[in-house]
Structure formats: C-alpha cells, structure tokens
Amino acid sequence: MPDRAPQPVDRQLPTDEARDLISLVRDIAQREIAPQAAEEEDAGRFPREVFRLLSESGLLGLPYDSEYGGGDQPYEVYLQVLEELAAVRLTVGLGVSVHTLASYALATYGSKQQQVEHLPAMLGGGLLGAYCLSEPASGSDAASLRTKALRDGDDWVISGTKAWITHGGIADFYTVMARTGEDGPRGISAFLVPGDAAGLSAAVPEKKMGMKGSPTAQVHFDGVRVGDDRRLGDEGQGFAIALSALDSGRLGIAACAIGVAQAALDEAVAYATERRQFGKPIADFQGLRFMLADMATQIEAGRALYLAAARLRDAGRPFAKQAAMAKLHCTDTAMKVTTDAVQILGGYGYTADFPAERYMREAKVLQIVEGTNQIQRMVIARHLAGPEGR
C-alpha cells in the first residue's frame, strides 16, 4: 500500500491562538478520528465519544461568545477547523457544522436569560444539537412547512414530522421551526426543544449512499409541550432566523467540501506517484498531471472563496451572496475532484480498500444539504437581478 498520509495544508491564520487551535484539531483528527473512520462509516456507527472529546476541548462552540462557553473565534478560523475535521471524516466535520447551526438561533436571537440558562451546556457541556427545518413535503420550499405549534396558556404544543434531521434520535436539543400563524414565511416561529421531551421520537435512520455514520432521521413531534420561554426570537420570526442560520451554515458545508476534496487529492497524488504502468509512475503521464493540477487549482479557489465570505462575515458585512457562491463552488468542486480521484486510482479506486470511493459518496450529499445547488443559484441570482417575477 502506498503511504497516503496527507500533507498538512499551509494555512494563513490570523493569530497564534488560531495556529494552536489548528494543531490541536490535527492532533485529535489523527489520533482519535482517522484510525476508526473507514470501519465506523462502513458499520454506520456514530462516534459520540469523539463529540464529547470535541466538546471538552472547546471545539463545539468555536464561533460563539466565550461568556457562554464559546470560543470567540472568527469564522475564518472556525471554518478551517471544520475543513480539517471533514478531511478525516465528514460525519464529524458536518456534525460539528450542524451542531453550530442548531446553536445559532439561541446564540443570535435568544434573550440574555435564555442564553445564560441553555447556551453553556450546548456550547461546551457535551450536548449535541439538531436543526429541524425540512419536512417530508417541504424541502427547498421550506416556507411551506406544516409542523404546528399551538399556544396553550404559557406553553406551546408542537405536532408534526420533520424529515432528514441530522442527529435525529441522538440529539440532546432540537432547534425546531414550526407554524404558529399564517401560511408562508411570516407564520413560523423557532423553538428550542429538549431531546428527552415527552412526545418526541425518531424514526429508524435513512439508509444513505454515504456519511453512513451520521444518523439522518425523521423526527416526530406528537403534542410536544414546551414553555414560552423556549421560543427563540419573536413570534413569526422563525423563518428569518432559519435562513439567517443557513447563510452561516452554508459556509460550514463549503469548508467541509474542501476538506473532503483535499483528502481525495492527497490520496490521488500519493497513489499516482507510486503506481507504475508502462515502466514509470502514472503521475508522469501528462493526462494525469493535468488532472491533478486542475483538482488542486479548484480546491485552492474554493478555499479562497469560502475564506473571503467568512472574512466579510467577520467584518460584520453582508455575506449571503458569497456564502451561496462558496457552497455552490466548493461542493461542485468536491464532487468533481473526488470523482477524478477514483479515476486516477483506476480499478482500486472503485473498491473500499481505498477511501476515494467513500469521499465520492460523501461529496454528493454536500450538493444537496442546506439548500441544493439549484437553490444556491437562485439565491445568487436574486442578489444580482432581484426577486423573480417582479
């Protein structure tokens, strides 16, 4: 077997603290995540203990306020941590991204009292979060969601089914978008629901093409009762909160995609320099050299794009268009690069003896989650040409 140890990416980081953080993440990734990744993905096993370790190490609340247990890190640093994690195992990188997404509504729109009460446990207390927007009949058209929250005195009673929920059935808290008023986007509110709430249950996880270690399941809300103190933001503000969370979440998906693509490129380079045909390494053939050069160039472009969007966000500037562009470009790049990596490994690339086929299966989902790449194009076009049908 060729030595396929990945070369660390040469990162431009803003502080010594960020450099230490990346070293810590690389250490955890190589010691605690990489050795089991292939086997556990095959077995469909979620690495709960890895998430506990990440929480203890301060890595589950990086972009949030340290007053509530967060890491006070700029997005450009947090995203590079995600990239490093996703490169060794997407289930972990994407899981951290989803946990961060699930914490967003409380961290950004919650009252001081709600934040003091719940955030420290979410950001550094070992809890794992889930984000519940999609439903069986509403995916891209998320504003048509039907899960209802009805007022009953000081409580809300939530009923309905959410679909495709990452960490569904194993999460400790669920950020849930439910209808509290009129049809359409203005009738939706956000709620923080504990994982052990009476009436909350999860279906058997979906059987997926990839990321098999990450449970994705329908979550049923059968008269789940929560106090009004668990409503996040204003009544009717839930959809705006959900979309605002996704602007940031998409950057997480972009970073994960570049991690997967980088891992595939590293593997392809290592293989191509070892494997010999026609008396020389296959990396000597220009047909493959050009493929490798294109793969590396698209990855660098993707990394630069997500970091540019992150730096806008860190500067408090609008970044939604750039986040959609980053998600689109980085996930399409991951699909192309991982497919090319399988090609470069030839027949071996098509077997589970090498991780290239896993990377290719993982890349596909990134073109679908948190807004399909068709939806990203719609978002970008709206920024360019205004809303459709004016």
Ligand X SMILES: Cc1cc2nc3c(=O)[nH]c(=O)nc-3n(C[C@H](O)[C@H](O)[C@H](O)COP(=O)(O)OP(=O)(O)OC[C@H]3O[C@@H](n4cnc5c(N)ncnc54)[C@H](O)[C@@H]3O)c2cc1C
Site for ligand X in 92-131 (CB under 6 A): 98, 131
Q: What phi, psi does 190 have (nearest 5°)? A: -110, 140
Answer for which of 28, 50, 54, 133 binds ligand X (CB under 6 A) is: 133
Q: Which of 71, 95, 90 is nearest to 20 (CA)?
A: 71
Structure tokens at 258: 């570049």
Q: How far apart are the first and last CA of the chain?
A: 59
What's the min distance (Å) between Cβ of 177 and ligand X?
8
Segment interacting with ligand X, rule: CB under 6 A, options 71-79, 82-90, 133-141, 232-240: 133-141
What's the min distance (Å) between Cβ of 130 and ligand X?
6
Answer for which of 58, 125, 126, 139 binds ligand X (CB under 6 A) is: 139
Q: By CB under 6 A, tell whether 86 contacts ligand X.
A: no
CA dist., res. 38 & res. 88, Å (int): 9
Answer for which of 60, 96, 369, 379 binds ligand X (CB under 6 A) is: 369
Measured from the CB atom, is 134 or 322 closer to ligand X? 134
Alpha-carbon torsion, ordered 301, 304, 305, 309, to 10 deg: 180
Q: By CB under 6 A, tell whether 161 contacts ligand X.
A: no
Structure tokens at 143: 């504003």
- Is the dihedral angle over the CA atoms 286, 291, 296, 298 positive or is it negative? positive
Measured from the CB atom, is 140 or 351 closer to ligand X? 140
Q: By CB under 6 A, tell whether 202 contacts ligand X.
A: no
Provide the 10 A C-beta neighbour count for residue 1: 9
Q: By CB under 6 A, tell whether 134 contacts ligand X.
A: yes
CA dist., res. 177 & res. 244, Å (int): 13
Helices and strands per DSSP (H, E), number in the chain:
12, 10
Q: By CB under 6 A, tell whether 166 contacts ligand X.
A: yes
Residue 337: C-alpha distances to residues 38, 170, 358 (Å): 19, 32, 13
Q: By CB under 6 A, tell whether 246 contacts ligand X.
A: no
Structure tokens at 280: 């020389």
The active-site residue, picked from 83, 84, 357, 370, is 370
CA dist., res. 303 & res. 254, Å (int): 8
Measured from the CB atom, is 328 or 365 closer to ligand X? 365
CA dist., res. 40 & res. 51, Å (int): 14
Q: By CB under 6 A, tell whether 339 contacts ligand X.
A: no
Q: By CB under 6 A, tell whether 376 contacts ligand X.
A: no
| 357 catalytic per annotation | no
Binding mask 3-32 for ligand X (x = CB under 6 A): ------------------------------
Q: What phi, psi does 94 have (nearest 5°)? A: -70, -35
Answer for which of 365, 366, 379, 380 binds ligand X (CB under 6 A) is: 365
Q: By CB under 6 A, tell whether 372 contacts ligand X.
A: yes
Q: Which residues lie near ligand X (CB under 6 A)?
A: 98, 131-134, 139-140, 164-166, 208, 216, 365, 368-372, 374-375
